Structure 1
Amino acid sequence: MKTDRIFWGIILVYIGGIILLENFNMIDFSWRYIWRFWPLVLIVTGINILFAKKKTILAIALVAGVTVISLGFITYKGLNNDSNTGITWSNDDKVEVERDSKELNAYTETYDPRFKIVKLEVSGGASSFVIDEYTDNLFEANIKGAKARYILKKTEQDSTVSLDFTTNNNKDFNFKDEEYSKVKLFLNTNPLWDISLKMGAGKATFDLSDYKVRNLDLEGGAAKFDIKLGSLQDSVSLNAETGVAKVVIKIPENSGCLIENTSELSSRKFDGFKENEVGDYETPNFKTAKQKIYINFKGGLSDFEVRRY
């Protein structure tokens, strides 16, 4: 047997096993560690290439052994990822951000009632993003992380304001646990929100049930998204484009919802939905509900779930 088949076979079994265990809530794995240890992946791939044409027992044992040991190390780190994050994740989905031990950077944009629509674009590298409280200002952000360097830009046009909240720490990127930034966002509940979140690896927990959200765009590589939508906006559009990610969307029971899933390799769990004639998924009340939510999933090896509450 060729060593490259063994290598890719172990990789696929590993990824499938991790996703399956996460689906049954048996583990909580941080996919960002795959990115963190990308040099290790290069080393393992290089060893496989060197011995790809050799069919000796020694070559097969070496490739299999190095692959298993490397994946075991990544798994260990991925399952023990919250010890230094500065964020406490409890069973009731509440998030507490610790504000001691490191400098906390704060950003604020004051509220102006003439702005009826806010277009917020947030982008960061390896970060944890949280929305679970509102503010009397238009926007606030608290960032914890020694290497976190963010810029807040504002542009205005009539009754619409655009906020661009992005990190500029690419030159100082560091793979140490303590260098991951922890970002807590606070939004005003009065305006209509269009929100875009882009990140490489990390975690996002957004409770948007008290906000009028019209559009929500999520982009992530090795990431976890936990999003709760409300019923204050008649039409909501959510688009999620991911690599290897876990995406959980919570929607109100009385809202009608249509899901378009264009990823064949991803797992999905849409309880309370039925497949329609074109292969999409919708709630039984989709056509009659006043408030409608449109969800589009695009992903590689991702886990998509929609829950009704």
Structure 2
Amino acid sequence: MKSDKIFWGILFVFVGGIFLLENFGVIDFSWHYVWRFWPVILILMGVNILFSRSNSKIGVLVTVIITVLTLGLLTFKGLQKGQKHDHWDFGFSDGVKDGWDNRDDDNNNNTDSTVNYQEAFEDGTNHAVLNIKGGAAKYILSSGTSSLFTANTTGNRRPFYVLRTEKVDRTTTVNFIAKSSKTIHFDGDESNDITMSLNPLPTWDLNLTMGAGKADFDLSVFKMQNINIKGGAAEFDVRLGDLSKLVNLTAETGIADVTIEIPTGVGCRIKTATGLSSKSFEDFIDKGNGNYETSNYNSSAKKINISFKGGLSDIKVKRY
């Protein structure tokens, strides 16, 4: 058997096994932490290419040993969630001066730092768009505010975020963007939490793009219209309300854990275009071809349309 087939077989067994054990609560695996080692997959693919041209048993054996040892190490790291690890910090200046450039890197200080961001609410703002782009972090959005938007970042790594707004007529677009630090960290104690609040008066569109991390959004008290989520090895928990007649939610993920909560009084339709994903849609009717609906979808005055696109994801939609 060729080494390339063995490599992909081992990789699929590894990912599928982790998902299976997680679903049954046997293990608590941190995809968030493991995602920072994604270049290792490229290295494994390179090793596989080098030995795939050789039909020798030694080449196959070397490929198997390297793949198993590497995936074993990643499994060990993923199961170390919440525990302390050695701190490896390869820092490079980003060339941008900000208040965080004055920190003392030589001390390797793990003290949490907090930065506050705020955009004032202007009367007459009927529609608002929130664009969030970030890296490995935990995003929390749950409460209202008299401002249009507020965010508090807390972590032991400097939060490279820029807040910019654009106003056209009665629509305000809020861009909350993480700047690249050009810094590589392998630190189990690294944390970056972002707590955000929105004004409940406007109708909101929300666009979230992130790599590895977690998003915990309780949007039940806001008038949502369009929600777009894109992420890699991430965890998304989104709770929707019944304040809008129509909500469109699109989720495009890689290796992710996605949970959406919707009110029982709102009709919901789900369209899926996913790979080897685990799906759990409570109280939904399977319409075939990856489509699901609640029994009250056609009769309900308020509707939620959900579209899932992704690879190896664990997807759940619950009604409350």
How far does residue 111 in structure 1 lie from its aligned partner after superposition? 2.2
Distance in 2 between the 1:198 and 1:278 partners? 28
Q: Does 1:133 align with 2:136?
A: no
Q: Does 1:228 align with 2:239?
A: yes
Equivalent position of 2:10 in the other structure: 10
Equivalent position of 2:96 in the other structure: none
Q: Does 1:193 align with 2:195?
A: no
Q: Does 1:144 align with 2:154?
A: yes
Equivalent position of 1:39 in the other structure: 39
* Paired amino acid for 1:221: G
CA contact (8 A) 1:147 1:173 kept: no
CA contact (8 A) 1:124 1:167 kept: yes
Distance in 1 between the 2:267 and 2:193 partners? 34
- Of the three residues 119, 123, 130, the one matched with 2:133 is 123
How far does residue 55 in structure 1 lie from its aligned partner after superposition? 4.7
Structural mapping, 1:44-63, within 5 Å = 44-63=44-63
With the length of structure 2 as denominator, give the TM-score of the two structures: 0.85
- Structure 2, unpaired ranges of 5+: 85-109
- Of the three residues 158, 168, 172, the one matched with 2:179 is 168
How far does residue 45 in structure 1 lie from its aligned partner after superposition? 2.7
Q: Does 1:67 align with 2:67?
A: yes
CA contact (8 A) 1:132 1:207 kept: yes
Equivalent position of 2:88 in the other structure: none
Equivalent position of 2:223 in the other structure: 212
Kindly provide the CA deviation profile for residues 200-220 of structure 1, in whole angstroms up to 9, marking residues without a partner as x. 111111111111111111000
How far does residue 15 in structure 1 lie from its aligned partner after superposition? 0.9
Kindly provide the CA deviation profile for residues 63-91 of structure 1, in whole angstroms up to 9, marking residues without a partner as x. 2222122112111222223347xxxxxxx
How far does residue 129 in structure 1 lie from its aligned partner after superposition? 0.7
Q: Please, which moves more after superposition, 7-16 or 17-26?
A: 17-26
CA contact (8 A) 2:297 2:303 kept: yes
SS in 1 for 2:182: helix
How far does residue 194 in structure 1 lie from its aligned partner after superposition? 0.7
Distance in 2 between the 1:287 and 1:272 partners? 15
Q: Residues 62, 241 of structure 1: CA spacing in aligned structure 2 closer, same or farther, 3 A cutoff?
A: same
Kindly provide the CA deviation profile for residues 224-259 of structure 1, in whole angstroms up to 9, marking residues without a partner as x. 111111111111110001111111101111110000
CA contact (8 A) 1:148 1:169 kept: no
CA contact (8 A) 1:153 1:163 kept: yes
With the length of structure 1 as denominator, give the TM-score of the two structures: 0.88
- Structure 1, unpaired ranges of 5+: 85-99
Q: Does 1:242 align with 2:253?
A: yes
Q: Residues 156, 78 of structure 1: CA spacing in aligned structure 2 closer, same or farther, 3 A cutoff?
A: same
Kindly provide the CA deviation profile for residues 31-83 of structure 1, in whole angstroms up to 9, marking residues without a partner as x. 23443113332333333233324455544333222212211211122222334
* Paired amino acid for 2:306: I
Equivalent position of 1:284 in the other structure: 295
CA contact (8 A) 2:33 2:188 kept: no
* Paired amino acid for 1:110: A
Q: Residues 27, 233 of structure 1: CA spacing in aligned structure 2 closer, same or farther, 3 A cutoff?
A: farther
RMSD: 2.2
* Paired amino acid for 1:151: V
Distance in 1 between the 2:142 and 2:288 partners? 38
Aligned length: 295
CA contact (8 A) 2:82 2:189 kept: no
Distance in 2 between the 1:47 and 1:293 partners? 46
Distance in 2 between the 1:57 and 1:49 partners? 15
Q: Residues 278, 308 of structure 1: CA spacing in aligned structure 2 closer, same or farther, 3 A cutoff?
A: same
* Paired amino acid for 1:18: I
Equivalent position of 2:105 in the other structure: none
* Paired amino acid for 2:145: T
How far does residue 264 in structure 1 lie from its aligned partner after superposition? 4.1
Q: Does 1:251 align with 2:242?
A: no
